[in-house]
Amino acid sequence: MSIVVISTGGTIASTEAADGAAAPDLTGEELVAAIPELGSVADVRTHEFTNVPSPHLTIDRMQALSALCAEYDTDPSIDGIVVTHGTDVLEETAYFLDLTYGGETPVVLTGAMRNPSLASPDGSGNLLASVRTAASEGARDRGVLVCLDDRVHAAQDVTKTNTMALDSFRSPEFGPLATVDESRVVWHRAVADGGPVFDVSDESLTNDVHAVTVTAEMPVAQLDCARGAAGLCLATTGAGHIPPTIVPALEELRDAGVPLAATSRCPEGRLARETYGFEGSERTLQELGIYYAARNLQKTRIATVVGLAADALDELFERPER
């Protein structure tokens, strides 16, 4: 069994500098060398992709990482891929890979909530559990996976729920796919609604997709960012409700050809289709021709970026009409 660990930086690779502030500087080789038990799980090799905090990662770098995973998928000597990553935008990278990586080799992303210079760091345990997961036969055909705190999640479901807690990564409503119990990976459920994989190129990708959370009496000026943009994603209140004051601005954006996608700012549930009919309700969204998304706002933005690049928004989203 051979697993490649692709290191990208983040807290898992950070150490404390002289001024007391942590920053990524450990290589993937150093991360692996610190866990002798890995040798009993698989033959682990490393690939240094980058070494940055995850907020520094760009859409282009996500695409390059997807291409690298696809390259390793063609190597018959590789049985699994683990990506070490900062936790801040880990779910966005994982979802980008889920939408664009079509290989059969399992891909598992992991990271750490505590850097190695702190008491009880979690990075080594997370990396060991992730290698076990990537080596597990059950990891196949479940899409891209995320493994932290001995829980294995689907990239499409998982989100970071706490700024510092070790169990920050959870899958609201659905729960994890598996649990890592000592040396075993115990699988609980299959992936729900696994969708197609999209072929995108560097030239077709854009980061010019805006994401706005809807709040009470939000200023209309918040939508000015989307004038001339490639797309706008909204996290609506409740089951798809917005203040009526922003409806004219959304109509202008729609008429100007800006694709609009909506999700809910609630961590669980989906947008409604028929319950309410007041101005600014789900009926208004449908009259605007807004795409309905099933993921959170940050993943809705990633899906829009991929959908625009692949000319496949209609495959990624629904668009209920009255």
Catalytic residues: 11
- 64 — alpha (psi -120 to 50), left (phi > 0) or beta? alpha
Question: Rounded to an integer, what is the distance from CA 277 to the centroid of its chain?
Answer: 33
**Matching residue, tokens 């559990």:** 129
